[in-house]
Structure 1
Amino acid sequence: MTSPTRSSDDGGPSGDGACGYRPDWASLRRHRIPEWFRDAKLGIWSHWGPQSVAMSGDWYARHLYGPFEGTEGFEQKRSRRQTALHRERYGHPSQFGHKDLCRLWRAEKFDPEALMDRFRRAGARYFVSMAAHCDNFDLWDSAHQPWNAVNIGPRTDIVARWAAAARSAGLPFGVSMHAGSWTWRWLDAAFAADTEGPLAGVPYDGHLTADDGAGTWWEGLDPRELYGRPRSHGEPPDADFVDNFYARLRDVVDRYGPQLVYLDDARMPFDDGSVCPASPPSPRGLEFLAHYYDTVPESAVSIKTIPAEDRQAVLLDVERGQLGDTDPEPWQYDTSVGDWYYRTGEPYKTAGEIVHLLVDTVSKNGCLLLNVPQLPDGTIDDETAAVLDGLGVWLSACGEAIYGTRPWTVHGEGPTRVEGAKAREATLAYTARDIRFTRDGETVYAFLMAWPEDGRAVIRSLGGGGPLPLRPRGVELLGSTAPVRWEQREDALVVHLPKTPPTPYAQVLRVT
């Protein structure tokens, strides 16, 4: 079943192919990252689905099967933890596997309108819904995957409801599609078996077929459509699997017209450089890009590794990583409040940490996509709510220095910096000498990453005798009604601050 492409007056795609993109990089390089994205700066992302049921964190659909020959070193600790939990709570994966979690996910308290209102008040300027994670379960009324949220579990179209809520709140809407290369690598674990113990050699439920479903809750469904065909670790994906992924990807963009598509891959899925290239590499990704950009104007597709010449054809996404300096092209930094999927007891980032990450990212020409893990029923916990509220309070006072701004001549100064061109995110111990910058026309915003104990902000980059000539007409402290005294010396702009900071996190000086 397919749905007709929407017209522009009801929020869906409005393109008619006028741009005429061809499925090759030379043609696709004519595309430009839209200005709405560059202005937005902060998006909220929902990682939510059957893997939320166990409340045990990310990668659950893979690790419930336990470590096997394909389990890499970095997975071992998480895999042992999730395997033990699954067997204690649900039983052996030969009888109760990922397919059975899909039925337990109910989303019974899902209220996308209320959540979107909270996200908007937290400062989000775009929203991204999960379409399908690496567990291969589609969260919409999928035409090409019967294992979906309308047929099983919630019995509702999650993507459609998120899309309606986002557009009603005035937020650009996006989807993330992780099924594909990662699914092929991930769910090979479902075809393994215990190597020791009382059930050694008993195949896990990936080996079940549609015929095995007679008399079960999943009668009429085929586990092979969820797990893929039986395979060994390292086998390249076959053409049918690749074609199914791209049919589903096209289905979700044609139905809902998202303005951002997040692909969880190094390059276009199954192409050369993908985390799981087909043999030979598949050109289907370029075909998708040409179709999508012709269908949905002012849109972007993000992937993880992009040559310089393709940086407008696709958007660079840096997962849980920070760039060391300003990038000449727009980019996106994605991270989460906690684990990607909800995990009981998971330590969360504080609102202050997220503010610092946002400021550092925006100063370097990036946008922050922040994941908010939901409980299985669709709600968020009180700690997440408090983080979002704290972020919203700061942005209500200092948002003018974030939204719609562009990088200044230098992104910042001070001793605390991200090491290297790209680095894993970390909680940095900022000092009073650490400052980040953005600009809006002739206004420069200086973010004080820590409050100076002596009450003086010393900004070296704004000194009168430095390499960046700028003569301030006025200096104000956002969020404060108290006037500030300032003087421009040859070596620095020195600002005398009030006794207490006006916000709990980074403070912002508006220099006009």
Structure 2
Amino acid sequence: MLNFETRIGPDLGAHAPRYPQNGVPDWYRDAKLGFFVHWGLYSVPAWAVQHGEGVNIPAEDAYAWHQYAEWYGNTVRIAGSPTWERHQRVYGAGTSYEDLADLWDASAFDADAFVGELVGAGARYIIPTTKHHEGFCLWDTRTTGFNAVARGPRRDLIREFHDATRRAGARFGVYYSGALDWHVSDFPPIESDTDLFRFRRNDEHFSRYSASQLDELIERFSPDVLWNDIEWPDGGKGDDPFAVAALLKRYFESVPDGVVNDRWGVPYHGFLTREYRDIPDILDQPWESTRGLGYSFGFNQAEDARHSLSGDELIRMLVDVVSKNGNLLINVGPAADGSIPELQLAAMRTMGAWLGQNGSAIYGTRPWIRFGEPLAPVRYTSSAAGVHVHVMDPACGEVALPPELVGRDVRWADGSRAQIKTGRDGVSTIEIPDALRGAAVAVATAS
């Protein structure tokens, strides 16, 4: 996956604008866990080719056999692709992707119940997709009739998400596809990473269109996070009032403790993003790991438990990311009707239960002097309470205590004091209580 902070063109020389200098606020660094919600027209077919262990897809076919269901609007235009073939069978050759807008029934969506599940799973911030690459807007926008109020659900879904999230006491953010909008473009389908940046509009008119939409979102919802995707049209990177620099200035004036990501294609960013990536060590800059519970962000009905993270795997991923100075932005992909599929719910609820007991070792923490040990299944976080030792395989029965923590009072999350043993080799270990050996991660705190 691409590192977007390295894409900062075009070079405007003396005409380069001045960007805000806002950093990453403490509330974001303390939050640790957010939820993405990918929901759109792609949720109607809810389908992509299965990926995963044992599946070998040649690089040249990666876009025709795309793992992301939310890319259905692109893969369906690649003649002969599995998505194209299935679409003909299910919907008929005369049904376009955009026709799916009139088939979208979101009648099962209850924003308070939905958000309640996310907050119950431990979310401190929630970021729904306001407009994905398909161009369909989920709020009551003045800019286009291709939106969820005029068609399909006939509801302002972002307003409902926003209001429910604020009522639940969580932070609210918006995802927005800045430079890709297939509805207002007339390019061939994207079939490579090169096409990803070649087949997109960069003209001033589209730049103004994108800025108008994002200005609407800022004015109406004062989002705590602006999560832009696939950069911004080059025609909107100058010193004009509709360009990125001016837009971000207006945003930070409206939301002083807001934060942005790194996917703008300009020399300024907030936190770094890493998508479906394993990060080997602590990153100096605040960053965010993002992925779906399965191999897709949008709901893929072809996936089952073999393709999706279990609750225990999700917990271990969260701990690993936080130990390396990151936040985890895990995605839930609702069905078209607005319900959360049971497979996703099960993993979310398992994580929520674990955080209910161990959240003090996650929320508000910072990295320790190292994230873990090279040969031991352990991760570390630190806070005012001390150093939190996360045992990633509690069934092993015991774990070595790092020498820096020997002599401290060490207690397990249930309040029991850890039994420290020192072997002939001088290595101190702590025994894991029987009651914690079946946990996804057992946590002890050295104070």
Structure 1 residue 60 and structure 2 residue 72: aligned? yes
Confirm or deny: 8 A CA contact 1:447 1:507 kept in the other structure.
yes
Amino acid at match of 2:252: Y
1:156 CA drift (Å): 0.7
The residue that corresponds to 1:254 in the other structure is 219
With normalisation by structure 1, the TM-score equals: 0.72
Change beyond 3 A, Cα 1:189–1:241: same
1:90 CA drift (Å): 1.2
Q: Report the secondary structure of 2:261's partner residue.
A: strand
Change beyond 3 A, Cα 1:27–1:177: closer
Q: After the TM superposition, which residues 60-459 of structure 1 pair with which residues of structure 2 at under 5 Å, given as runs? A: 60-67=72-79, 80-92=81-93, 95-181=94-180, 183=182, 188-189=187-188, 234=199, 237-265=202-230, 268-271=231-234, 278=235, 282=238, 284-304=243-263, 310=268, 313-338=269-294, 339-346=296-303, 347-415=307-375, 433-441=376-384, 443-451=386-394, 453=396, 455-459=397-401
1:452 CA drift (Å): 5.1
Change beyond 3 A, Cα 1:392–1:235: closer
**Separation of aligned partners in 2, 1:365 and 1:262:** 19
The residue that corresponds to 2:60 in the other structure is none
Of the three residues 20, 40, 48, the one matched with 1:28 is 20
1:234 CA drift (Å): 4.3
**Separation of aligned partners in 2, 1:386 and 1:186:** 39
Change beyond 3 A, Cα 1:80–1:443: same
**Separation of aligned partners in 1, 2:182 and 2:329:** 23
1:99 CA drift (Å): 1.7
The residue that corresponds to 1:37 in the other structure is 28
**Separation of aligned partners in 1, 2:29 and 2:16:** 25
Q: Report the secondary structure of 1:321's partner residue.
A: coil
Amino acid at match of 1:91: G
1:501 CA drift (Å): 2.2
Amino acid at match of 2:138: L
Q: Note the alpha carbon deviations across 1:233-256, whole angstroms, 9 max, x for none.
A: 747532211211111111111111
Amino acid at match of 1:28: P
Q: Note the alpha carbon deviations across 1:95-153, whole angstroms, 9 max, x for none.
A: 32122011111211110100111111111111111110000011000111211111111
Q: Report the secondary structure of 2:343's partner residue.
A: helix
Q: Note the alpha carbon deviations across 1:388-440, whole angstroms, 9 max, x for none.
A: 1111111111111000111111111123xxxxxxxxxxxxxxxxx22111001
Q: Note the alpha carbon deviations across 1:206-253, whole angstroms, 9 max, x for none.
A: xxxxxxxxxxxxxxxxxxxxxxxxxxx747532211211111111111
1:297 CA drift (Å): 1.6
Amino acid at match of 1:333: S
**Separation of aligned partners in 1, 2:394 and 2:400:** 11
1:504 CA drift (Å): 2.5
1:304 CA drift (Å): 4.1
Confirm or deny: 8 A CA contact 2:188 2:199 kept in the other structure.
no
Amino acid at match of 1:486: I
1:58 CA drift (Å): 2.5
**Separation of aligned partners in 2, 1:492 and 1:188:** 63
Change beyond 3 A, Cα 1:350–1:282: farther
Structure 1 residue 509 and structure 2 residue 444: aligned? yes
Amino acid at match of 1:324: P
**Separation of aligned partners in 2, 1:24 and 1:359:** 40
Structure 2: unaligned runs, 5 residues or longer? 1-14, 48-68, 191-197
1:503 CA drift (Å): 5.2
Change beyond 3 A, Cα 1:124–1:115: same
Structure 1 residue 47 and structure 2 residue 38: aligned? yes
Q: How many residues align?
A: 399
Change beyond 3 A, Cα 1:246–1:306: closer
Change beyond 3 A, Cα 1:408–1:25: farther
With normalisation by structure 2, the TM-score equals: 0.82
Amino acid at match of 2:229: D
Fraction of identical pairs, as percent:
28
Give the superposed CA RMSD.
Answer: 2.7
1:362 CA drift (Å): 0.5
Structure 1: unaligned runs, 5 residues or longer? 1-22, 68-78, 192-232, 272-277, 416-432, 464-468
The residue that corresponds to 2:51 in the other structure is none
1:188 CA drift (Å): 2.3
